[in-house]
Structure 1
């Protein structure tokens, strides 16, 4: 395993487990503690992780997202439960927007074959999944292709969305918290999300709690700009804080 492959492995592992310990990483990759510590030091210099006692954790400031394929394996059970919860908010015959993301992909997986719906998305994986559903009138927004995230972003995508009237938009997020609201490391994504919110009658942030407490360089909007947040149980303290919000409504999905 090369140095770059090791650091990619460490970064993926932390995304999945929130924290990674040197002993565990050395065993998983069959390398020395010194090698792991050097990799961790470099990742910290890049701003991706923070060193803690005996290991590393994700930095609150999110420099970069994992590619779509790698994100799809993380917290998959949680994302499926969130997708099922979201599906209960969709009325037949309406126009919905599914933002690019592995959690919104799970919403698409829940749509019944005979459920009449208009779906707008910037996600190629969602488009491919729904392509053969005869009950769905399907629109892909087009624009500049983000190859890491299997989606279209930027001004061209946003301009397509501006011409639409959307009943219900489901937004994904790689980072969100009370102070910074919804944010992203990528300008092109922020532009698309902001436009979707502006044309949607109702918007819902759907995101697993591993994304909570982090923020990216580009601000999308304050949390109270959306109408609802669907997430799983965050820490007790954070759950209490979010539960006390008057806006937006927060729905916590219990994962069995």
Structure 2
């Protein structure tokens, strides 16, 4: 691997595992510990990771998200099950918002395969709109706006303005960083404005985000968790987080290895 490929591998590996030792990274890439340390130093300077004793972990302050294609490879099974569970929350004739992201792409696939007809779907995600384009039982709207090529979606004021003209029954929202204390956040100001607009026009507001995103935070605050009605995640979510979510009156739905659970 060339240096750029190594650093990309390290970031994706740590993004999935949350923490990794120098030894396992050196073995996986067949390079020396010194090479791994140099690569980690550069990633740390970019704000992506934090070096710890004997290894490296993700920086809880998320400064940049992985591009769409790389995110799609992470936690694929959990994302698919979260999508299937999300589709169980919809009813025929509803207007849905599907946020941008690979977890929401799985929601789109499950919605398309559901028995719900006369649905209207609003999205800012190009992959989702392309997937739903030929579904005759779905009326489809795309927000338009500034194109984020890295994440195959639109963001910013134009997209947010369009969303404020729509009444949404169920909004399925993504987040790369969320926790009990800070709520939902993002490293992107343009994404924040879109999500804030969705929250103001939606009757039911559902966060769809696996546990690897929990405990991280971005520069731009979106909302406190109490503004959500539901959270869909997985069973690796810390028990204290589950309790705090329930105390806020939010319905928590969790997927595991083929099992779904719901807590009032």
Query: 1:128: how far off?
Result: 0.7
Per-residue deviation, residues 175-221 of structure 1 (Å, max 9, x unmatched): 00011100000000000000001011111101000000000000000
Equivalent pair of 1:233/1:239 in contact (CA under 8 Å): no
Among 159, 162, 183, the alignment partner of 2:161 is: 159
Look up the match of 1:59. 59
What aligned pairs does 1:11-30 form with structure 2 within 5 A after superposition? 11-30=11-30
Moved more, 79-88 or 239-248: 239-248
Equivalent pair of 2:246/2:252 in contact (CA under 8 Å): no
Instruction: Give the distance between the partners of 1:47 and 1:55, measured in 2 at CA.
Output: 16
Query: 1:239: how far off?
Result: 4.2
Look up the match of 1:85. 85
Instruction: Give the distance between the partners of 1:113 and 1:16, measured in 2 at CA.
Output: 30
Equivalent pair of 2:86/2:232 in contact (CA under 8 Å): yes
Look up the match of 1:34. 34
Query: 1:253: how far off?
Result: 2.1
Instruction: Give the distance between the partners of 1:35 and 1:129, measured in 2 at CA.
Output: 42
Look up the match of 1:116. 118
Moved more, 21-30 or 91-100: 21-30
RMSD: 1.5
Equivalent pair of 1:113/1:135 in contact (CA under 8 Å): no
Instruction: Give the distance between the partners of 1:117 and 1:255, measured in 2 at CA.
Output: 29
Say which SS state the counterpart of residue 142 (structure 1) adopts.
coil
Look up the match of 2:202. 200
For normalisation by structure 2, the TM-score amounts to 0.93
Equivalent pair of 1:154/1:191 in contact (CA under 8 Å): yes
CA change 1:105–1:237 in 2 (3 A) is same
Query: 1:100: how far off?
Result: 0.2
Unaligned runs of at least 5 residues, structure 1: none
Q: How many residues align?
A: 256
Moved more, 193-202 or 37-46: 37-46
Moved more, 105-114 or 145-154: 105-114
Moved more, 190-199 or 12-21: 12-21
Say which SS state the counterpart of residue 148 (structure 1) adopts.
helix
Look up the match of 2:73. 73
Look up the match of 1:98. 98
Equivalent pair of 1:242/1:250 in contact (CA under 8 Å): no
CA change 1:233–1:113 in 2 (3 A) is closer
Query: 1:159: how far off?
Result: 0.7
Instruction: Give the distance between the partners of 2:139 and 2:81, measured in 1 at CA.
Output: 25
Query: 1:243: how far off?
Result: 5.0
Equivalent pair of 2:171/2:206 in contact (CA under 8 Å): yes
Instruction: Give the distance between the partners of 2:241 and 2:180, measured in 1 at CA.
Output: 12
Equivalent pair of 2:196/2:223 in contact (CA under 8 Å): yes
For normalisation by structure 1, the TM-score amounts to 0.95
Instruction: Give the distance between the partners of 1:167 and 1:247, measured in 2 at CA.
Output: 19
Query: 1:146: how far off?
Result: 0.3
